[in-house]
Structure 1
């Protein structure tokens, strides 16, 4: 039924303008606020052309799971650049993270390396290297 549609994802934040600065300026995504008044939302365009809608929510609760994964060829370079841009990597108990905050040596179908960080609204994001 939906096999030919262009589905998209969305998530909430508590401050749309802060989200636009983070996703647009810090992460370098195409980030455009559209709409007016209570109907404003942020449209993120990812490198693949996929779109993600970010909407303000007065009683926003951060997602406790990873909402966006960013595959990279060089996780160490990506982590260094994120930190240079003021992003702090998250550390979670139960994961063997190195000094940079990267979990390495994924098994099975998982990534070879992954590191997590959050947006200003507290939503969890990840950078990962697949091989």
Structure 2
């Protein structure tokens, strides 16, 4: 019988040091060195992520990690002050019906959400609870 004790999600990056700085210092998450040259990130709520280096890394073009926040506007302001750009879509219609405002926040299509990139180009978001 299949009986896992926990599940971990993982993703690749092209620069482990840049990822450690971004996730640990910029975003303020708990980041520790893992086994076999990986990083282990713990996010609020206790979920764990494995980040591993990959020489031929291709950024995730989909939202691979969503951070749920109480106030998207405040989270976007904080990210922008930290140098994280949240307006990553140009609203040309190529990404569908995103229609984001000047700060990159999409409103009126479910929870408010704003997307941003990690240093490896992976798509992340902050979204309303």
Tell me the TM-score normalized by structure 1.
Answer: 0.88
2:48 matched residue in structure 1: 51
CA RMSD between the two structures: 1.5
1:99 matched residue in structure 2: 102
Question: Mapping of 1:81-120 within 5 angstroms?
Answer: 81-89=78-86, 90-92=88-90, 93=93, 94=96, 95-107=98-110, 112-120=111-119
Closer/same/farther in 2, CA of residues 10 and 48 from structure 1, 3 Å limit: same
| Cα distance, 1:4 vs structure 2 | 5.7
Tell me the TM-score normalized by structure 2.
Answer: 0.89
Q: Where in structure 2 are there 5+ consecutive unaligned residues? A: none
| Cα distance, 1:106 vs structure 2 | 2.3
Aligned residues: 123
| Cα distance, 1:2 vs structure 2 | 5.0
CA distance, structure 1, for counterparts of residue 112 and residue 2 of structure 2:
33
CA distance, structure 1, for counterparts of residue 10 and residue 48 of structure 2:
9
